Amino acid sequence: MPQVPLRRKFLQELDAIDQSHKRARLSMYLQDIHFLASSDEADSNASGPSVTSITSVSVTSSSNRSSSSDDSSSYVSLTPSEIIDNYLATVEKEIRRLREEISTARVLHQTHKIPKSSQIHLLATWRDGNVDQFRRKVRVDPPTFDGILEKICNHRIFHNNSNVPQLPVETQLAIFLFRVGHYGNAASPEAIGHWAGVSPGTVANSTNRVMVALLALHDELIRLPTSEEKEVVKEWVAKKVCPEWRDGYLVVDGTKFPLFQRPGLHGNAWFDKSRNYSLDCQVRILPVS
């Protein structure tokens, strides 16, 4: 059974309290009306000394309460209905406050603070001393990483007027590449946050920003080859294979990106021969020499 999100659960419980409170309010009103009716009936039917119905009470102002018997203490005369109204109005105000607080709070329960220790700085060490480890983390070689960074670093998505500065663009790119290069539990915002020393929300924000910057480059980087590029590739194919295969320069190789769960839209269409849900990626390479 899927669990109800914590925020929705709190709001449902608050709604239940509100409904219970409204039923209690109606019940108190009915009891008050019955009490007054009974008192009036007793007054009319009583013999001997008259019985006075209690239709008001004296409430001492809290600001004037003191141990001394000061005659200047002020008293407010309230009927039972007014007392009920004041009490229930306070309850309703508190319910509205709690509902607003639950609906707008970003963190519903405060846990102990966990110190974060980033490992991203190791990429600078691996860049020169252990390229395999660099590639294992971000799935690209250092020159490719630098080329992507140069293309996206000036995009406006990474520059705003917020009082809270963003992470450096290279850090956000590293988080994005680490995330798209892994799947399952290793690609969860929490796991990546532990590696990068940031919160899961920062992982999500970095991923979204880099995606926006990369999509802005679509028309510049995704295009058909020019006539000159076609001829260069055909010559390369003829040299590596045979002249009869030179027109096969558009041959592609593909790979699958596994998904960590079945997609919600047309889920069965993503089920592959390996019994996984995955995306097909086909890459076309145009050698320049």
Mean pLDDT of 97-116: 70
Question: Which residues, listed in sequence order, are joined to residue 282 by a DSSP beta bridge?
Answer: 254
d(C-alpha 207, C-alpha 176), whole Å:
5
- Tell me the pLDDT of the chain averaged across its residues: 78
Question: Which residues, listed in sequence order, are joined to residue 277 by a DSSP beta bridge?
Answer: 271
Residues 33-74 have pLDDT tens digits of 666 556 655 555 554 444 444 344 444 444 444 444 444 444
Say if residue 252 is in the same domain as residue 278: yes
Residue 117 lies in a domain: no
Under 8 Å between Cβ of 115 and 166: no
Q: What tokens does 153 get?
A: 């670093």
Question: Which residues, listed in sequence order, are joined to residue 75 by a DSSP beta bridge?
Answer: 60
Q: Is the pLDDT assigned to residue 176 strictly greater than 80?
A: yes
Say if residue 48 is in the same domain as residue 99: yes
Which long-range contacts link 143-147 to residues 24+ away (Cβ below 8 Å)? 145/173, 145/174, 145/177
Under 8 Å between Cβ of 193 and 203: yes
Residue 71 lies in a domain: no
Residues 177-208 have pLDDT tens digits of 999 999 888 889 999 999 999 999 999 999 99
DSSP secondary structure letters along 159-212? ----SSPPPPHHHHHHHHHHHHT--GGGGSHHHHHHHHTS-HHHHHHHHHHHHH
d(C-alpha 77, C-alpha 59), whole Å:
6
Residue 195: the pLDDT is 92
Residues 237-283 have pLDDT tens digits of 888 888 888 887 777 667 888 888 888 888 888 898 888 899 887 76
d(C-alpha 84, C-alpha 69), whole Å:
29
Under 8 Å between Cβ of 248 and 237: yes
Q: What tokens does 257 get?
A: 């990106």
Say if residue 42 is in the same domain as residue 129: no
Residues 222-233 have pLDDT tens digits of 888 888 988 988
Residue 151 lies in a domain: yes
Residue 148 lies in a domain: yes
State which residues form the domain around 88.
6-56+77-104
Say if residue 216 is in the same domain as residue 172: yes
Q: Which helix (H) or strand (E) holds 283?
A: strand 278-283
Say if residue 11 is in the same domain as residue 99: yes
Look at the chain and report how many structural domains it folds into. Answer: 3
d(C-alpha 217, C-alpha 145), whole Å:
16
Residue 68 lies in a domain: no
Q: What tokens does 22 get?
A: 């409204």
Residue 180: the pLDDT is 92
Name residue, tokens 């039972």.
Answer: 80
What count of Cα atoms within 13 Å lies in the side-chain half-sphere of residue 11? 12
Question: Which residues, listed in sequence order, are joined to residue 173 by a DSSP beta bridge?
Answer: none
Under 8 Å between Cβ of 81 and 159: no
Q: How far is CA 280 from the centre of its chain?
A: 28
Residue 56: the pLDDT is 45
Residues 123-168 have pLDDT tens digits of 988 998 899 999 999 999 999 999 999 999 999 999 888 777 899 9
Say if residue 95 is in the same domain as residue 26: yes
Residue 274: the pLDDT is 83
Enter the DSSP assignment of 110.
-
Residue 27: the pLDDT is 72
Q: How far is CA 152 from the centre of its chain?
A: 25
Say if residue 212 is in the same domain as residue 231: no
Say if residue 10 is in the same domain as residue 90: yes
Range scoring the smallest mean pLDDT among 44-48, 89-93, 104-108: 44-48
Residues 8-37 have pLDDT tens digits of 877 788 788 777 777 776 676 666 666 655
Say if residue 228 is in the same domain as residue 214: no
Residue 128: the pLDDT is 87
Say if residue 176 is in the same domain as residue 142: yes
Strands 75-78 and 253-258: unpaired
Residue 193: the pLDDT is 92
Q: Largest alpha-carbon pair distance within the chain?
A: 127
Residue 246: the pLDDT is 84
